[in-house]
Each structure stands twice: as structure tokens, then as C-alpha cells.
């Protein structure tokens, strides 16, 4: 689970749902309820998709 700040906008994340496939993307914005992520399979100008924090992990943590 992540707790993003304004400086994390654009940072890479990995979506790991309880079921299904994981996806990579980048944070476009966030609010109290959701983190908005533009996933790599989306068009580069697509808006971010609302995603629960509990399903997101920092991509940089996965690389180490």
C-alpha cells in the first residue's frame, strides 16, 4: 500500500489486485479516496484510473 504526496505524481507504481494480473503505471493525481493511475496499456493522454491505495505498490520497491 502506498501513501502518495504531491511529489509522487508521475512516480511509477504496480497495481496488484487480489485477483487478476498486475499492471504497471504512473500516478497522475490522488484524493482522499483514490490514487489515479495511467496504466502503461492506456493511451498516453488518457486520464488516470481510480485505484485503491491498498492495491498499489511503488515500482522502485519491486526493482530492489
The string of pLDDT tens digits covering residues 30-46 is 999 999 999 998 888 88
pLDDT of residue 42: 87
CA atoms within 13 A on the CB side of 11: 18
First-to-last C-alpha distance (Å) of the chain: 17
The domain in which residue 26 lies consists of 6-63
Q: Does the structure show a pLDDT above 60 at 48?
A: yes
Residue 14 lies in a domain: yes
1 inside domain: no
pTM exceeds 0.75 for this model? yes
Q: Is residue 43 part of a domain?
A: yes
CA distance 44 to 63: 23
Q: What is the mean pLDDT of the chain?
A: 93
- The domain tally of the chain equals 1
Residue 13 phi/psi, 5-degree rounding, is -135, 160
**Count, residues in the chain:** 64
Output the domain CATH number for residue 55.
Answer: 2.30.30.140
From CA 27, how far away is CA 44, in angstroms rounded? Answer: 12
Cell of 10: 508521475
How large a percentage of the chain has pLDDT more than 70? 95
pLDDT value at position 63?
56
Amino acid at each position: 500500500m502506498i501513501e502518495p504526496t504531491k511529489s509522487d505524481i508521475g512516480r511509477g507504481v504496480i497495481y496488484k489486485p487480489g485477483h487478476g494480473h498486475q499492471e504497471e503505471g504512473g500516478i497522475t493525481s490522488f484524493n482522499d479516496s483514490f490514487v489515479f493511475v495511467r496504466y502503461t496499456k492506456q493511451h498516453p493522454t488518457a486520464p488516470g484510473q481510480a485505484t485503491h491505495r491498498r492495491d498499489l505498490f511503488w515500482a522502485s520497491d519491486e526493482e530492489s
